[in-house]
Amino acid sequence: MFWATMEELSRRPFTTAEARVAGISWDQLQSARFRRLRRGTYVSARVPESPALVLAAVLDGLPPVAALSGRTAAWLHGLDVPPFNPIQVTIPKGCGISGRAGISIRRAPLEDRQVVSRQGMRTTSLLRTILDLGRTLPLVEAVVIADAALHQRRLTLDDLREAVHALRGSHGVSRLRQLVDLADPRAESPMESRLRLLLVLAGLPRPESQVTLKDERGLFLGRADLYYRSHHLVVEYDGGTHRLSLIDDNRRQNRLLGAGYRPLRFTAPDVLGAPDSVIARVRGELAADVPAHPAS
């Protein structure tokens, strides 16, 4: 068996067994020179703390066939999701391993083509990760993550459709079909996705996403997060960046009103804290008579 040198151990997590062979005593491991990552795993205090370092230590303590998966894998693929609480791992069925604190272990088939290396760690591929999350997360949260992956062009809707079609008849495939139907590569933020899904899952028509708006002369006015073309209704998520540019936003809204558009803006407290009010407001606007629109 190959044992690493002390120089190599100064750059990565290592086990107490590796430390012993490299000449690092137990007392030295307890000193300020080293930092304990988890039971039986340490790292040099010179190595900066990072989520990836913790994940590497966790994976090092698992069988070689294990792969980081779920939201942990999504984070490693560059998506804005929390990688911990818990750390998620998939191992093939029949692989004997007991539960670990802070780690959620899923036993499922894991083909070689579904595993990639990210930051030097075995991780489920992005496509496999999205499919796993589509089966295990609440539908809205799974679609939010799928939207982000699609918007970054890391995979396509056709990729998802083909993968889901190949899974026909398997457990959870109906949920995956819903995910594909609801996902939108044009969504530009998680809250925009949540706002769209709030409306669609309430039975309202599906709005267009990221639509260019012009006045009657064809001059650019802006882009709508969500747009009901037949009603000239603009629905937007008002995040922190909007509040920092309030004057410009007010001018833009006035231009939209002057051009015959009907803008509605909602914040995170609206979407997350008062969803029924958001649905009722949009439903009311869609039920109202629609005046002629000069920019149509």
Asked if residues 183 and 150 have their Cβ atoms less than 8 Å apart, the reply is: yes
List CB contacts of 194: < 8 A, sequence separation 6 or more: 140, 144, 271, 272
* Predicted pLDDT at 292: 63
Range 45-60 average pLDDT: 81
Percentage of the chain lying above the pLDDT 90 cut:
55
pLDDT value of position 99: 65
Specify the amino acid at residue 203.
G
pLDDT tens-digit map of 203-241: 999 999 999 999 888 888 889 999 999 999 999 998 865
What's the pLDDT band for 1 if we cut at 50, 70, 90? Answer: very low
Confidence of residue 3 (pLDDT cuts 50, 70, 90): low
Bridge pairing between strands 103-107 and 115-118:
unpaired
Rounded CA-CA distance 55/125 in Å is 16
**pLDDT at position 112 over 50:** yes
- pLDDT tier for residue 53 given thresholds of 50, 70 and 90: confident
Provide mean pLDDT across the span 77-87.
91
182: left (phi over 0), alpha (psi -120 to 50) or beta: alpha
At residue 133 the predicted structure's pLDDT band, cuts being 50, 70 and 90, is: very high
Mean residue pLDDT across the chain = 88
pLDDT tens per residue across span 10-26: 777 777 888 888 888 88
Q: Which residues pair with 227 in a beta bridge?
A: 208, 234
Q: What is the pLDDT of residues 255-274, one digit of tens each?
A: 888 888 999 999 999 999 99
Residue 210 belongs to what H/E stretch?
strand 208-214
Q: How many helices (H) and strands (E) does the chain have?
A: 14, 12
User: What's the whole-number mean pLDDT along residues 57-66?
Assistant: 84
State the Cα–Cα distance between residues 33 and 257, nearest whole angstrom. 64
Cα torsion angle, 104, 109, 115, 121, sign: positive
Would you say residue 36 has pLDDT above 90? no
pLDDT band of 294, cuts 50, 70, 90: low
Above pLDDT 70, what percent of the chain?
91
pLDDT score of 244 more than 50: no
The count of other CB atoms within 10 Å of the CB of residue 27 is 7
